[in-house]
A and B are shown apart, each in its own frame.
Chain A
Amino acid sequence: MTLPIVEPGAALLEPPGLNPAVTADWLVAFLRDELVLRRKIPRAVIGLSGGVDSAVTAFLCARALGPENVYAIRMPYRSSNRSSLTDAALVVEATGIRCVTIDISAAVDGYLQSEPDADARRRGNVMARTRMVVLFDQSAKFDALPIGTGNKTERLLGYFTWHADDAPPVNPIGDLFKSQVWALARYLGVPKPLIEKAPSADLEADQTDEADLGISYARADAILACLLEGYSDAATVERGFAKEEVELVRRRVDSTHWKRHLPTTAMLSNTAINEFYLRPVDY
């Protein structure tokens, strides 16, 4: 008689999973503790781009603080896709949060007119940094805290403007891969058009994240999960990924560690801040 053989399944090439209910509850608790209890600023401002990351952040903030305490700031540039504005409006409608629209074209162009040769990358960075100027000023206007919307994938791949997208002092979704953000979005009831459309920084016409990066988020997330768990590039390839895509992800991560740190400061003493003088952010 031949006995049946039971073995573990092959390693999956899927991105990391998510328990959306537990995650949503945890992040709502985080926002309440961080804004209401600790910082005693029970209001939030969010740059609402029309993408899924800021939509999820808005839904979480609405749950945590009440929609009347959440200000969505839409900040179109003259070349922005019109659908970004209308998709953002869907989030406002679904959550009941407040909404302000501030066109950044005049501010951006005011600077760029003296830099007519700036390429698309520079122009995109100016837009991203201008949006942060607006967001922080609106936070002062509304006595509210700017909330970050950067996810773990773009943080790891360095796909963001330093001291812009990463500037807000509190970020609920920064430890979620993009695939997990999508899963959370479905659970929270984010309007479908935002979940189904191709993610885009919308800094240039027809731009998409995945074209910029050269890899899909699903593949990038699965590879990132392997690399961060300590698998070597070779071991990651052995799990079934293409060598080229593993190298692409590894290269992006390794070339952008600096973007995930504060500025490098020359150390001169036994009391250098964050080297010897160590105090937690909430002390």
Chain B
Amino acid sequence: MAEAVALRVAIVQMKPDKGQYRANLRSAGEAFSQLAADSPNLVVLPEAAMTGYFLEGAVYELAITAQRFARDLAATWREASGGQTADLVAGFFENDDGNYYNSAAYVHVEPRAERIVHVHRKMFLPTYGVFDEERFLSRGRHLGVFETEFGRMALLVCEDACHAITATLAAVKGARVLIVPSASPGRGIEVEGELASITQWRDTLRLAAMEHGVFVIYAGLTGFEGGKGMTGSSFIVDPRGSILVRAPATEACIIRADLDLAEIDRARATLPLLGDLAAVLPNLLLDPELPLPRGGRDAADC
């Protein structure tokens, strides 16, 4: 019988002022103050949480090192929470020695120190239509999973999570919780209920959660940037595909939930698709018809 492991999660759905890093950190701090009484284990913020998403060339003025970002985020949390221990996740633009990435950091914060547990560099940089990430940024090349006090997790930044294979590989590599900081400009007004792009996100991640028996935590940026409205709509989906909690589209807000991580084991016992996949995945990936490099110099590019 699975042992109950509780993970108290909060998502801070940020509506940042464009380019105002310090002011946005202060806004995050105000949200952290609201959360402190609940003592969350994990606080998740969206992609580009402290700068806004569409930066064009200004990304070179605002990108910082992961160490600096972790330090600022941790200091903000510490001051707001009175020194509580918690794990924080947020998206930021990373400057690594003159190479620029759209990254997200998982930071473990203690009263007197913080530790970067993992930095994920966005792998899939949307560069079409309204998007121009690869014009300014480099791709991440590695999909890592990492250990936390609450089990193995993975970070997927926005479009990373639109590709079914990334959630699949993260789950096969043992991630039990997928965290998706995102900034999604809304579109699609012809359909009933809500913007089509909001439905698309929820459908995509519900399917990932159900297929692999994982929790998915989606933190969406909100607010309008030059006419493009970020869809917010942060949500948490359980390993059976049920939406536990969900935020509105256009308002900055906080959503919270206590996750029973043992639910992952129960869901997988009921629907053991992940184990089935792990058994057959090598056959799928070794299929000679797949357009994959088979060693040699070209392999490094994939």
A residues bordering B, Cβ < 8 Å? Answer: 16-19, 22-23, 25-26, 29-30, 33-34, 37-38, 180, 276-283
Contact = CB atoms under 8 A, between A and B. Distances in A.
A18 B224 contact: no
B140 interface: no
A29 B229 contact: yes
A22 B194 contact: yes
Given A29-B250, A30-B229, A277-B57, A19 B189 contact: yes
A22 B56 contact: no
A131 B272 CA distance: 68
Contact count band on B = 20 to 34
Contacts of A180: 189
A180 B191 CA distance: 13
Contact of B195 (A22, A276, A281): A22
A16 B44 CA distance: 38
A278 B226 CA distance: 14
B190 A19 contact: yes
B250 A22 contact: no
Contacts of A17: 190
Contact of A33 (B54, B193, B224): B224
Contacts of A34: 224, 227
Given A30-B229, A33-B224, A283 B18 contact: yes
Given A18-B189, A18-B190, A23-B189, A280 B195 contact: no
B19 interface: yes
Contacts of B52: 282
Contact of B58 (A18, A23, A29, A280): A280
Given A19-B189, A22-B189, A26-B186, A282 B226 contact: yes
28 contacts: A16-B190, A17-B190, A18-B189, A19-B191, A19-B192, A22-B189, A22-B193, A22-B194, A22-B195, A26-B229, A29-B250, A30-B229, A33-B15, A33-B223, A37-B15, A37-B17, A37-B223, A180-B189, A276-B57, A277-B57, A279-B56, A279-B57, A279-B58, A281-B226, A282-B225, A282-B226, A283-B55, A283-B58
Contact of A30 (B55, B57, B191, B227): B227
A38 B52 CA distance: 12
B259 to A, nearest CB: 30
B250 A280 contact: no
Contacts of A37: 15, 17, 223
A280 B55 contact: yes
Contact of A280 (B15, B54, B190): B54
A261 to B, nearest CB: 16
Nearest to B187: A175
A22 B227 CA distance: 16
A41 to B, nearest CB: 15
Contact of A282 (B15, B18, B191, B192): B18
Contact of A19 (B55, B57, B193, B229): B193
Nearest to A180: B189
A283 B19 CA distance: 6
Nearest to B195: A22
B186 to A, nearest CB: 7
A34 B191 CA distance: 25
Given A29-B224, A29-B229, A33-B223, A278 B56 contact: yes
Interface in B135-160: none
